[in-house]
Amino acid sequence: MSPEDRMEVLTRQLCAGQSTESNWEHVQQAPPDPIIGVTDAWRADPDPRKLNLGVGAYRTEEGKPYVLKAVREAEQQILADPAMNKEYLPISGNPEFNRLARTLALGPGSSAIQQNRVATVQALSGTGALRVGAEFLSMHLPASIPRIVYLPNPTWGNHKSIFAKAGFQVREYRYFDAATRGLNFAGMVADVSAAPPGSVLLLHACAHNPTGVDPSPEQWSRLLEVARSGGLVPFFDMAYQGFASGDLDADAASVRLFLEAGLELVLAQSFAKNMGLYGERAGALSVVSKTKEVATRVESQLKLVVRPMYSNPPMHGAAIAARVMGDPKLNALWKEELRGMAERIKSMRQVLYDQLVARNVPGDWSFVLKQIGMFSFTGMTRHQCEQLVSKWHVHLTLDGRISMAGLSAATAPYLAEAIADVIQNA
């Protein structure tokens, strides 16, 4: 058989094989994301009463997405700038965005910033910042230290996957007290105190997701001492600065407490919530070191994490955020809008609480008022949540977390009626 004939036979065999079975035939159907899947189910629900309380995004009183006025103005200025181009950003991202982002988080008077001990890279929102930070720690913690991360139980569902993908052994510390719908601080301290030296301690800077329960200032001080005495590596996830209380500085207090105590730490920031830049993926990762020289080397290694992962970050969202943070007029407008969004969510807590009390729903619902931020962890069972979805068309995560931003004065009575029904009858 000639070489040409053999090639023709081989080609026919390959084509025949491709037509009968895929190389990916063994791939299994993955389960839907427990959070994003809620919105998918809500979209597919034909019932006009349907309510989406799973979305982790701000909504107006009318249930519509909201683009901040400061963001619109910043975007218009950027688009009108004749010097604007679409060239690649540096691997570390927009330098002005990085400078303003770390200053927003750590404070303009931070000694770490003044001494150039902070290495910052722009990231793909908070998720990307966490992933780059986890990869960096996995690569550069001392070899003698086991790669262990402690996450609160419960926590944002993506935390576990992010650290596991970076090679960490994931452990949990107690956080939520189901009986009080508050913080299990004694359990938290006990578990964190038992962590091996060098373990990474993941902390929500404010507005803990999904519970809406934060430590008090006194409890934060105690956690600082536990982390310091245990030789732990604090890794703050700050997705809600300013969005929790309406005060940017108040919401950064936990991070600044650890920073001014002299601890090295890692910080992931997101501008999805507090600027509404969800789809722009604007975030930052900062690593605080003991000296300027170490910080310089750390930044060089962060770039080596970023380069093979996504080369360099997108420019548009960071440009918007930098302009909003850096322009005095836009900055003032942003802070005003931020306070307004936080106040609307607080008012939804009061409205829902009043509606539940008016219906004599069994249990103490005062936790709705005590929790803060976008979410409330209701403590409802999985079965009760399933009844909310199937009977009342109220879409939420099945752990009982509801988005207060997805609620309005018009829909709160309906939700209270639905909760009353499933609590009493499910």
Residue 253 lies in a domain: yes
Q: Worst-scoring range by mean pLDDT, 47-51, 199-203, 273-277, 314-318?
A: 47-51
CA distance 378 to 239: 21
Residue 7 lies in a domain: no
CA distance 145 to 148: 8
Q: How far is the CA of 39 from the CAs of 80, 266, 393, 395, in angstroms?
A: 35, 32, 12, 8
- Is pLDDT above 90 for 158? yes
**pLDDT value at residue 42:** 85
Q: Which of 42, 156, 365, 392 is catalytic?
A: 156
**pLDDT value at residue 33:** 79
| Residues 6 or more apart whose Cβ sits within 8 Å of residue 261 | 224, 228
Residue 406 lies in a domain: yes
Query: In this structure, are 248 and 210 located in the same domain?
Result: yes
Query: In this structure, are 229 and 338 located in the same domain?
Result: no
Q: pLDDT per residue over 351-409, tens digit each?
A: 999 999 999 999 899 999 999 988 888 888 999 999 999 999 999 988 889 999 889 99
Q: What HEC string does 397-415 produce?
A: CCCCEEEHHHCCCCCHHHH
Mean pLDDT (the chain) is: 92
Residue 256 lies in a domain: yes
Residue 105 lies in a domain: yes
- Is pLDDT above 70 for 9? no
Mean pLDDT of 108-115: 94
Q: Kindly provide the residue ranges of all beta strands, DSSP E only, lying in 39-134, ordered along the sequence.
A: 51-52, 118-124
Domain endpoint, select from 279, 305, 326: 326
Query: In this structure, are 294 and 418 located in the same domain?
Result: no
Residue 263 zone, left/alpha/beta (φ > 0; ψ -120 to 50; rest): beta
Query: In this structure, are 420 and 286 located in the same domain?
Result: no
Q: Which of 273, 334, 365, 392 is catalytic?
A: 273
Query: In this structure, are 318 and 192 located in the same domain?
Result: yes
How many CB atoms sit inside 10 A of residue 418's CB? 20
| Residues 6 or more apart whose Cβ sits within 8 Å of residue 137 | 147, 166, 168, 200, 233, 235, 266
Instruction: From 327, 324, 257, 330, select the one nearest 288 (Cα to Cα).
Output: 257
- State the CATH number of the domain containing residue 263: 3.40.640.10
Q: Omega before 210 cis (within 30°)?
A: yes
Query: In this structure, are 218 and 352 located in the same domain?
Result: no
Query: In this structure, are 268 and 383 located in the same domain?
Result: no
Query: In this structure, are 104 and 239 located in the same domain?
Result: yes
251 catalytic? Reply is: no
How many CB atoms sit inside 10 A of residue 165's CB? 12
Q: How confident is the model at residue 20 (pLDDT cuts 50, 70, 90)?
A: low
Query: In this structure, are 46 and 107 located in the same domain?
Result: no
237 catalytic? Reply is: yes
Residue 10 lies in a domain: no
**pLDDT value at residue 56:** 81
Query: Given the structure tokens 């927009």, which residue do they identify?
Result: 94
- Is pLDDT above 60 for 268? yes
Share of the chain above pLDDT 70, in %: 96
**pLDDT value at residue 39:** 83
Residue 249 lies in a domain: yes
Q: Which of 177, 214, 237, 251 is catalytic?
A: 237
- Is pLDDT above 60 for 108? yes
What domain range includes position 308? Answer: 88-326
- State the CATH number of the domain containing residue 398: 3.90.1150.10
Query: In this structure, are 321 and 349 located in the same domain?
Result: no
Number of domains in the chain: 2
Q: How confident is the model at residue 18 (pLDDT cuts 50, 70, 90)?
A: low
Query: In this structure, are 250 and 351 located in the same domain?
Result: no
Query: Given the structure tokens 């004749």, which residue do they identify?
Result: 82
**pLDDT value at residue 10:** 59
CB of 218 closer than 8 Å to CB of 316: no
Q: Worst-scoring range by mean pLDDT, 16-25, 59-68, 334-343?
A: 16-25
156 catalytic? Reply is: yes
Domain endpoint, select from 283, 300, 326: 326
- In angstroms, how far is CA 38 from the centroid of its own chain? 17
Residue 81 lies in a domain: no
Query: In this structure, are 196 and 339 located in the same domain?
Result: no
- Is pLDDT above 80 for 1? no
Q: How far is the CA of 134 from the CAs of 83, 140, 288, 302, 345, in angstroms?
A: 36, 10, 15, 11, 32
Q: pLDDT per residue over 217-245, tens digit each?
A: 999 999 999 999 999 999 999 999 998 89
**pLDDT value at residue 38:** 84
Domain endpoint, select from 303, 326, 349: 326
CA distance 36 to 55: 7
**pTM of structure:** 0.90
